[in-house]
A = this chain, B = another copy of it.
Amino acid sequence: MASGKILVAQGGGPTAVINQSLVGVALEARRFRNVERVYGARHGVRGIIDQEFVDLTQETSHNLEMVANTPSSALGSTRDKPDEKYCQEIFKVLRAHEIEHFFYIGGNDSSDTVRIVSLEAQKNGYPLRCIHIPKTIDNDLVGSDHTPGFPSAARFVAQAFAGANLDNASLPGVYVGVVMGRHAGFLTAASALGRKFPDDGPHLIYLPERIFVLENFLAEVKATYDRLGRCVVAVSEGIHDASGTPIASLLAKDVERDAHGNVQLSGTGALADLLCDEIKSQLKIKRVRGDTFGYLQRSFIGCVSDVDQREAREVGEKAVQFAMWGNRDGSVAIRRSGNYAVDYALLELEAVAGKTRVMEDDLIAANGTDVTDAFRLYLRPLLGSGMPEPFRLRAHPVAKLK
């Protein structure tokens, strides 16, 4: 422990609480007397290569607390996916600055980066402790009960559907809301928590864990519409056909891919518009509206779960404790230890890196278009306190005349 320098960075898509983890690292690290400096890298691994470091040790604790409550990545993020050579560059910079602890807050792509950097350090006999701190609204990290960022995004989706359902009840028709989630349907499934009364929407939920068949979709929308005179549908942007081809990319003119080879699904309203066009033309329903929740669901300021905030802070703190008191690299995981309580564990990087969790079968209803009570029990405590609740006028009909 010669230099006493630690480095923290943030990768991948922002969340409402990712800065809680950053601040958790910064404040907890300074409680260790061997830590002299806490550096932050601007824009993830890209900022390491470019040596764009800021000294978080010179921040005030007040401003850190304010930043912790601000959504999106305060240090900036990146979509760069480091290969072998990129990781060697990262390692070179860390060594030059005598960084001894590397904390990377991100999803499964970021955990893979931590894994490669960790291996590179071992290969070179450089004493670098590498810890992956989980973050993703997709909730798709294996080994965790859930991931920081997911609860707040889930709360946004549940509140959005609670409102969309009220809107749709007021002006009946079909409403399709498209939710983020490439492979895992957790966030789309969260729409179910927006229901209160038995006939509340979303009435149909389409997840990437199930094959999407357009004919079935239309028949299910029609059945609901015939029954209730309206229909609210939650659709994951990641829905795909039997061959695994995303429905969104079946119609996109120019498919855009990121450095990870992922097709761009967000930031376009194409999927919602396609599904609405099909409903209008095939079912002859006039009032059909589609919304794509887009970036609002991960960055909206002012919709956050207090449970999520607390846990995101704790994974940052625990990462530092695992690094300082443990003797191995790893990925911090949240474990449910009560109803509702959590504990934290350090998993092997290999157990998490690059792997994707999807919704377990017992969370999805047998008909494939709804969630189970097990999912509702799983998600409800994560949404936190003060969830707004809709109320209805009770029925007191007035007799018609004549």
Q: Which applies to chain A's interface (DSSP): helix, strand, loop or mixed? A: loop
Contact A292 B292 (CB under 8 A): yes
B299 touches A296 (CB 8 A): no
Which residues of chain B are within 8 angstroms of A302 by Cβ–Cβ distance?
159, 303, 387-388
Q: Which residues of B contact A66 (CB under 8 A)?
A: 391
In the complex, A67 has a CB within 8 A of chain B:
yes
CA distance A384 to B143 in the complex (A): 43
Would you give the 0/1 interface string for A258-283, flagging 1 where the beta carbon is closer than 8 Å to chain B? 00000000111110110010001000
* A79 interface hit (Cβ, 8 Å): yes
Cα distance, A70 to B73, chains bound together (Å): 33
A155 to B: closest C-beta gap in Å: 9
Query: Which residues in B have their C-beta under 8 angstroms from that of A397?
Result: 53-55
Measured in the bound complex, the distance between the Cα atoms of B302 and A280 in whole Å is 31
B266/A269 in contact, CB under 8 A: no
Q: Does A395 contact B (CB under 8 A)?
A: yes
A392 to B19, CA, bound (A): 10
Bound together, the chains give a CA A394 to CA B61 distance in angstroms of: 12
A63 within 8 Å of B (CB atoms): yes
Which residues of A are in contact with B by a Cβ distance under 8 Å?
A: 10, 13-14, 39-40, 43, 51, 53-56, 58-59, 63, 66-67, 69-79, 93, 96-97, 159-160, 162-164, 166-167, 169-171, 175, 254, 256, 266-270, 272-273, 276, 280, 286, 288-296, 298-303, 387-388, 390-398, 400-402
